[in-house]
Amino acid sequence: MSATVPPTPRTRIRRIAERGRYDADTVREIVDAAWHCHVAFVDEGGVHCIPMACWRSGDALYLHGSNGSRMLKVLAGGAEVCVTITHLDGLVLARSAFHHSMNYRSAVIYGQCTRVPEEDKPSLLEQFMRHIAPGRESQVRPPDPNELAATLVLRLPLTEAAAKIREGGPKDDDADMSRDVWAGVLPVHLAHLPAVRDPACSIEPPGYVREWTANT
């Protein structure tokens, strides 16, 4: 059962409002399908929009990076952020130029990041590893104390969040329906290409590598 969070002035979708979704499950699905997001924030140099890896655990999105990163320091310092994840699903070809569109699923999250306490970092980073390759968290060398100390993990609650989804075919004006032009959707999809082994590696690929292209 998915909680529907009432939209705030920031998350309420006004433009084509019927595309807006405010239930937690829809936001989570969009977040879970992503490996990266775009983080917008303001510092003394102005507004920035930076791609970052991300993962979800429970009701929060997590970001991580170097302790020395200026950006991470600004985020950890409580800057307001807007984090957006977008999956492009297709180009929608209508009979009129005006009604061309794109199919997509996007999630927009507003809030402030907080720094994850030291003791919570190892398990959260393990969850990130599982998000990338389930099972790998027990195969790789885990972070040593220096690496952990060098890594900042930030938590952004999924509280003030909204999704926007466009799906399906073109919506043409009645007067254009008989026009002599192909109409439909050109779908796109983030496909998995065959794994590329490191030349210095002679280890047999584990299941998540063997099944990578099948899980596309």
Residue numbers 185-214 binding a second copy by CB under 8 A: 185-201, 203-206, 209, 212
Residue 176 in the binding site for a second copy (CB under 8 A): yes
Q: Name the residue nearer to a second copy (CB basis): 62 or 104.
A: 104
Indicate which single residue of 14, 119, 145, 214 sits in contact with a second copy (rule: CB under 8 A).
14
Q: Out of 2, 42, 118, 167, point to the residue binding a second copy (CB under 8 A).
A: 42
* Least gap, CB of 108 to a second copy (angstroms): 7
Q: Which listed range, 18-26, 42-50, 55-63, 113-121, lies at the site for a second copy (CB under 8 A)?
A: 42-50
φ, ψ for residue 62, nearest 5 deg: -120, 140
Binders of a second copy in range 62-81 (CB under 8 A): 65-66, 68-71, 80-81
- Quick check: 9 binds a second copy (CB under 8 A)? yes
Interface with a second copy in residues 143-172 (CB under 8 A): 143-144, 147, 151, 169-170
Q: Exactly one of 4, 10, 67, 123 binds a second copy (CB under 8 A); which one?
A: 10
To a second copy, the closest distance from the beta carbon of 1 in angstroms equals 29
Q: Specify the residue, 114 or 127, whose C-beta has the smaller distance to a second copy.
A: 127
Distance CA 173, CA 192 (A): 37
Residues contacting 153, CB < 8 A, separation 6+: 62, 63, 64, 115, 116, 120, 121, 124, 125
| C-alpha–C-alpha distance, residues 68 and 149, integer Å | 11
Which long-range CB contacts under 8 A does 40-48 form with residues at least 24 apart?
A: 40/81, 40/82, 40/83, 40/84, 41/71, 41/74, 41/75, 41/79, 41/80, 41/81, 41/82, 42/79, 42/80, 43/70, 43/71, 43/74, 43/79
